[in-house]
Structure formats: C-alpha cells, structure tokens
Amino acid sequence: VTGTTTGLPTTDHASSTTNEVSPTLNHQPPATIADLTESELISHVTTRLPASPDWMVVGIGDDAAVVEPERNRLEVLSVDALVEGVHFDRRFTPAAAIGHRALAVNLSDLAAMGASPRLALLSLALPGDLPLAEFDSMIGELTAFAARCGVVIAGGNLTRIAGPMVLDVTVVGTVKRRRALTRGGARPGDALYVTGSIGAAAAGLQMLQADHTAASSCVNRYLYPEPRIRMGSLLGRNRAATACMDLSDGLADAVRQIASASGVGATIDAGALPIDPDARDWFGRHGLDAVVESITRGDDYELLIAASPRARGRLAAAVRHGDAPLTRIGSCTADSALSLRLGGSDTPLPRGYSHFR
Amino acid sequence: VTGTTTGLPTTDHASSTTNEVSPTLNHQPPATIADLTESELISHVTTRLPASPDWMVVGIGDDAAVVEPERNRLEVLSVDALVEGVHFDRRFTPAAAIGHRALAVNLSDLAAMGASPRLALLSLALPGDLPLAEFDSMIGELTAFAARCGVVIAGGNLTRIAGPMVLDVTVVGTVKRRRALTRGGARPGDALYVTGSIGAAAAGLQMLQADHTAASSCVNRYLYPEPRIRMGSLLGRNRAATACMDLSDGLADAVRQIASASGVGATIDAGALPIDPDARDWFGRHGLDAVVESITRGDDYELLIAASPRARGRLAAAVRHGDAPLTRIGSCTADSALSLRLGGSDTPLPRGYSHFR
C-alpha cells in the first residue's frame, strides 16, 4: 500500500494567525505522524536502513519483497504483535523501547528454534496523534537493533488506527536440516536448563508501574530485552538440546509446554533458579514470593532447554561460545506431574497466566 | 505466545441468580471470545486446517514454523493489515468478508509480483467482546479461502486489543528466477492493460454505506475480492509483462507508481476503461463521474500490466489460460506526464488518495 508525496507539509496544522498574543506565539505544535503522508513516513524508515544484501532481489517499494533463499537451510517463520495497553503501557514505555521489544519478542522465537535470523517485515498501525519524534525514536531503535542482529528489514506496511498502537513483526530465519529445536523432543532423564537470569523483567515492570520514571537494571531488562540469538543458534548447531522454548510467558508456562509437547513430566528445583538479585530484593521488599513471581510472570526472553545428560560437553561448548550462562534448574521425569521442589518437598508447579481471557 | 486451558468456562459470565423473573431467565448471553482461553481460540483455528504438506517440517504449536524452501525458486514476501474503522466498517462488513479480505489483499500483492502463494501467517488483535460466532465465521472463511488458493496457514498470533480489531497477514510465495514482476520495468511504447473490470468495489462500498443490508454484484466485489493469482503467475512465467502492480489504491495510483518506478509517462484512454456496468449505473444515478470514481478509489484487486507490443501473443496465451480478461487502456510514453485522454483531449491523471494523512 502506498501513498502520494506532495512535499513536506509539516506546517499545515500550524497556526499562521498574526494577532496571536499568547506566549506560544510562533511556537508551532510538535509535528505528529498525521502531518506526513504515508510515503513520507515510509521514507523516515527507509533512510535508516543499511544497503540491501545481494540476496535481496527486490526490496522495499514494490508490492512485495523478493529474496534468494539460503542454500541447504530450512526456513523458520514467526509473527508476534505488541498491542498498546496489553503488551506495553505508553505512559512508561519509551518509544525506543516499544520499537526494540517489537523485534526482540520475535527474534526470541527464532532463537528458541535454534535458527539464525535473516529478515523481518514490519506492519505498524499507528494513531495519527503519535508525535513524529516518537515515531522516529521507535523506528530508529528498531532499525538499529535489526542492523545489530543482522536482520534485514525487507518490507512492511503502515496504516492509521483510531485506537491503541499495534506493532506486528514477522521474522524469517534459517536453520540447518535436522537442527531445528522444537518443544517436543525432551525425554525422561533430560536435564532442564535456563539461560541468563529470571525475574528481572517482571520486577522492572512493577518498578515502572510504581514509578513511571524508575531506572534500574531490572527496568532495563524489561524495556530492552536481549533475545538469546547466539545461544539458540549454537544449541541448534551442535545438537546439545533435545527441546527448547523461550520464556515469553514465564518459566512455569515454558516447562508446562515442553512437558506437554514431549510427553514427559518435570521437577524444578526452586533453590537452583537463577533469580536476578535485584529482582529478588524488590520482590522481598514488597512482600512478594520471589520464586512465584520469577516463574509465573512473562517478559523474560531467556531460553528453557532440555538436554540429555550425555550432552553436557556440547552444552559447555555452547556456553563457552555463547552469549549467556546456563543454569541447571531441574529435570524431566517419566510421569506427567509438574512439580516445584522447595525445601525438600514437592508442590505442584504454579500456572502461568493466559493473556487472552 | 500460548495460554493455558482450563476447560470451557462459557458460562462464567452467565447470571446464576435464581430470583430473576425477566423473560431472559436461563438465556445465557452469546459467547464472546473473552469466554475462551487463547489456546481454546487457537484450536478453533487449527481444527479448520487441512493436513500439513510434506514441506512443513514444524507447523502451528511451536515457537515458530519450520519449512523446506521450494527448490530453484525465489521467495516473495508481503505483509498487509486490515484495521477496523480504516479498512472496513463492522456495521456492514460481515465477519466472513473481513476474514476473506484480510487474506485477499495479501494474495493480490503476490499476484502482482507474478508469484504463486505458498503459506500465510496470521496475527489477529481482537476485542474481547467479539462474539465467538463472528470469530468462527471470520476464521472459517479465511481458512476456507486459503485452502481454495493452496495457501497453508503456517502459524500466527492471537491477542486482545482494547479498541479496533486488527488483522495482519503475512504471505510467502515463490517465483522462478528472473520471472518476478516489478513496478520498474515499463518502457516508452509499452501498452498498459488492466485485468477484469474496475469501479465495482468502490460502488459496492458506497451502496453499503447508503444501506448496510445492500446486496448486489458490486457489494460482493467489495466484500469478497478475488485476487488475480492465476493471471499474475502466468504473466510472470511467460515473460509477457514488463511491469505489474495491483490496484489496491486505485488505477490512477497504480499508473503513477509504475510510471515513477519505470521512469516513463503514461496516457490512459478514459473511453477504453473496463468500468463495471452496474458500477457505472450507480455512479451515474448519484451524479458521480464514473471514470474518476473508478480510477481514484481503491479496493479493486485487479492488476495493472505494462507489456511490450511484441508480447501480444504471450499476453493472449495468458488470457486463454488465466482467470480474467485483459483490456488495453493506454500506453507508456517517453516524457514523464500522466494524462487521461477523454473525448480527444488530454487532462492530467487525477491523483489517488493517501490512506495516512
């Protein structure tokens, strides 16, 4: 979908009356995206993009993108949406963080499949009163993050919405044949590992909800999650994992999904969980159970991994070359029970929460 | 993103008071999608899908889809969104038509590239009060249309929105090397053709705006557009066209885009335009200029094609095996002017309209 360009009419909405006496005389209101045509806005995106790679046969500006597939690789595709008011609150989520997260949640899905990202398509539905500065900031961070991750923006769509802003991102990556990591390959006796640390994003969100200007490492983890792209692709490549999933809906949910897809049970050792120290401190000071908060809240874009005990060497190699530590947090069992081991006794694993209902 | 299933709580919202005396006693309100969990809603989609093809290595239900690319073909990717209140009005657009159009607008983009569709990813942001029956109707038509076009639903995303519904569809197709049709290949002297007829969708929309229950062939063209998939892929395959674009934003806009991308001008013969007879009649009865309405309004998912005079035989072959007639409506010129020839005199080609501003 395209629009027609008729110059830069950013002053169309500015008052040109000369009998204005208020202190705002000659101060034009800040430009909003409604002051620009669709093609002007698109050029705010395209001018930020690096040169197209050779494999991009037709890029942005035609009805569709045309790309040369990568030889001897399978393709991995995922789509995810961020909806204002559901996945982020504009009162305390800077535009740059919105742009970052829209891509991060998708790259995390590719990482969970052991895939390397290749390209992304953006579909943005934006309210007309969005300040142009916020649009630029959102797009600036999104395109910079994409470039840093080697992701080519191959196309997109821009439309108005009379309501919450929606950012839909589709990512395409590749993985070698028989190297894709699914949720369904875990077996009884496999160990369960998690990358990095958990709980920080949930604590960061609570800090922002309490104080919209809060700043801390937890806030940063919530606003600018770093998907485990390198770790995912290493684990896929060296066949270290039997199953993998990202923690977008929380660790408890991920354990449940892998167990269900693999037909196994699981026991998680609460004492082994790599809970972020600052998050643990925050939860403690607010009378919250750090374990429950850290495993039932979403927004940690870490990976949950199942691996055979025989794969310890390959896991260690992935950690050596990867971008995150791995912590063993439990194991898969032959029955179907999901337990949390806490101080020597087992309780049922808490449920995550459903976004929809 | 996944949710947890806890049975079918469709009666959660029904009153269970026993001192109710109104005639609605025991009548439960119709189910809305908020009565179901995300995974229950997803199963309303997946149960409608045919068996996955061999090339689908990992389908719906994991972090991402994994597919085997098609040998010796380029990939063509496009994303497009339908936003309630911008692209459709729920007061007169049945849920089935919304589902149909969400896929059709994307397939039309692939057709315009000469590509054959292969798979689609759906990302739906839906208000919680959407009746479940409308959700089912929307998904039912979308999946049936996909199956009819040989498009595999490879994955998706479902989320709430506190506002207008948004349907984002990403489609992936394939095309042979050096057979992709772009906007940029037209040369002076090329003839311009359009598939099918124009104006019907614009007239159909006006009919529905005047009477929400209107029914006619124009209304049908607006609600259930048929993208020119077969024609596009034939034109790509036999190298009949030098440039191609779909008419989503109207014929005038498509002429402008092809001319601009190709560095040519164009003259359109108003008398030659294949304006739908019922649409012409409607415009006439409402004092509207049938030519202007038919070329400046969007929603016709026909193709505009530029072709060298030497390609007449190949064009005729495409028409013989294709799904639409072709009408010659003008030609490309060496200067950059865009003209509408009307009764022997040339006027500037009217502009289409920009969706955004």
> What is the torsion angle, in degrees rounded to the nearest 10, for the CA atoms of residue B104, residue B106, residue B111 and residue B117?
-90
By three-state DSSP, how is residue A320 classified? helix
In the prediction, which pLDDT does A38 show? 87
**Is the C-alpha dihedral spanning B305, B306, B312, B314 positive or negative?**
negative
Q: Which residues of A touch B155 (CB under 8 A)?
A: 77-79
Question: Mean pLDDT per 10-residue run, chain A (357 residues)?
Answer: 32 38 60 92 94 93 93 96 97 98 97 97 97 97 97 95 98 95 96 98 97 97 97 92 95 96 97 98 97 94 96 93 94 96 92 57
In the prediction, which pLDDT does A27 show? 67
Q: What is the end-to-end Cα distance of chain B in Å, rounded?
A: 34
Q: Which residues of A touch B52 (CB under 8 A)?
A: none
In the prediction, which pLDDT does A28 show? 74
Q: Which residues of A touch B57 (CB under 8 A)?
A: 74, 180
- Percent of chain B residues topping a pLDDT of 70: 91
The pair of structure tokens assigned to B56 is 């689908």
Phi then psi for A345, rounded to 5 degrees?
A: -120, 150
Q: Tell me the residues of chain A between 286 and 305 that have a Cβ less than 8 Å away from chain B.
A: none
Nearest CA distance, B114 vs chain A (angstrom): 10
Rounded distance between C-alpha atoms, residue A120 and residue B129, angstroms: 32
**Is the pLDDT at B56 greater than 70, yes or no?**
yes
**Looking at the complex, does the CB of residue A110 fall below 8 Å from at least one CB of chain B?**
yes
ipTM: 0.89
Rounded distance between C-alpha atoms, residue A65 and residue A80, angstroms: 19
Kindly list the distances between the CA atom of residue B49 and the CA atoms of B32, B132, B150, B161, in Å, as whole numbers in the listed order.
Answer: 22, 18, 12, 25
Rounded distance between C-alpha atoms, residue A195 and residue A304, angstroms: 7
Q: Which residues of B touch A356 (CB under 8 A)?
A: 3, 33-34, 36-38, 41, 128, 158-160
**Looking at the complex, does the CB of residue A125 fall below 8 Å from at least one CB of chain B?**
yes
Contact B155 A63 (CB under 8 A): no
Nearest Cα residue to A184 out of A112, A270, A118: A112
* Sequence-distant (≥ 6) Cβ neighbours of residue B216 within 8 angstroms: B204, B207, B278
User: What is the pLDDT confidence band of residue B39, given thresholds at 50, 70 and 90?
Assistant: confident
A193 conformational bin, left if phi > 0, alpha if psi -120 to 50, beta if neither: beta
> What is the torsion angle, in degrees rounded to the nearest 10, for the CA atoms of residue A136, residue A138, residue A144 and residue A149?
-160
Residue of A nearest to B154 (CA): A77
Which residues are registered as beta bridge partners of B82? B167
**Is the pLDDT at B4 greater than 80, yes or no?**
no
By three-state DSSP, how is residue B115 classified? coil
Contact A159 B86 (CB under 8 A): yes
Runs of H (alpha helix) within chain B: 38-46, 95-112, 132-148, 200-210, 217-223, 229-237, 251-262, 277-285, 290-296, 312-321
**Is the C-alpha dihedral spanning A109, A110, A111, A113 positive or negative?**
positive
Mean pLDDT of chain B: 90
Q: What is the DSSP letter of A62?
A: B
Nearest CA distance, A222 vs chain B (angstrom): 17
Q: Which residues of A touch B173 (CB under 8 A)?
A: 64
Residue of B nearest to A257 (CA): B2
By three-state DSSP, how is residue B160 classified? strand
Kindly list the distances between the CA atom of residue A36 and the CA atoms of A99, A156, A346, in Å, as whole numbers in the listed order.
Answer: 20, 17, 59
Contact B2 A253 (CB under 8 A): yes
Rounded distance between C-alpha atoms, residue A61 and residue A155, angstroms: 8
Cβ-nearest to B74 among A68, A76, A164: A68
**Is the pLDDT at B17 greater than 60, yes or no?**
no
By three-state DSSP, how is residue A36 classified? coil
CB B246 within 8 A of CB B127: no
Cβ-nearest to B66 among A37, A38, A113: A113
In the prediction, which pLDDT does A10 show? 33
**Looking at the complex, does the CB of residue B112 fall below 8 Å from at least one CB of chain A?**
yes
Q: Which residues of A touch B85 (CB under 8 A)?
A: 161-163
pLDDT tens-digit profile of B102-128?
999 999 999 999 999 999 999 999 999
In the prediction, which pLDDT does A25 show? 54
Which residues are registered as beta bridge partners of B245? B304
